[in-house]
Amino acid sequence: MASPPAPRPIPVGACVFDAYGTLLDVHAAVGRHAARIGAPGDGKAAALSALWRAKQLEYSWILSQTGDYEDFEALTERALDVALATHGIADPLLRQSLLAAYRELDAYPDAGPALAALQAKGVATAILSNGSPGMLAAAVGAAGLAPRLDAVLSVDDLRIYKPAPRVYALAAMRFGCAPRDIVFVSGNAWDAYGAARFGCRVLWLNRTPQPEEYGLDRLAEGRITTLAELPDRIFA
């Protein structure tokens, strides 16, 4: 049987990335301190990290839906407190260590090389994130990604979280182009959906992979399993 044709390269005005879960590994903070959370192989650290992330996102969605706002750093702290309490952990020093580690998350190994390759091709790059400006500056700097980005955009300017449509408009305004001229890359299916509904051309980064959600097989330009695939998919 013949192999399917390779996807056509996508012309772009800019390539815009989600930060947490796309360029930055949201589970790296707990990973650094896993030995302080549970015994090897008991799954407690992984469960705590998953709940921390789930509550962080839940709080952002609830606030946006109710017309309220707190910055992402505050939500991250509140979510961690719930995750720790749920797992019966009362350790102020561990809490402090985890929050400090979250400000300096590891970049995924494919993030820097992909951004560099796009930069070499003349493609403008940016982050569009729920993260507060201080969090993003610390994380992007610690991960060594700052020289590879033309802009780091935060929802804090609008005081509402993704997937609100006007968040994605920040990218179009920053680069002075139509949504269709932006390729948006996210490792979060709900975020990819939000960008696609706004009108961006979306590549869903499905690392694990996870099953298709939100009709992304229909709405997105396609899916990739690693950022190493990205430079061959787009051009300036």
106/72 Cα distance (integer angstroms) = 18
61/84 Cα distance (integer angstroms) = 21
In this structure, are residues 155 and 165 in contact, taking their beta carbons and an 8 Å threshold? no
Please count the helices (runs of H) and the strands (runs of E) in the chain.
9, 8
Q: For 101-122, give one letter per residue: b (16+ CB within 10 A) or e.
A: bbbebbbbebbbebbebbbeee
| 110 noted as active-site residue | no
Residues 12, 13, 19, 24, CA torsion sign: positive
Here the tokens at position 131 are: 């993260």
- SS3 for 188? coil
Q: Say which of 18, 106, 110, 156 is annotated catalytic.
A: 18
Q: Point out the residues that are catalytic.
A: 18
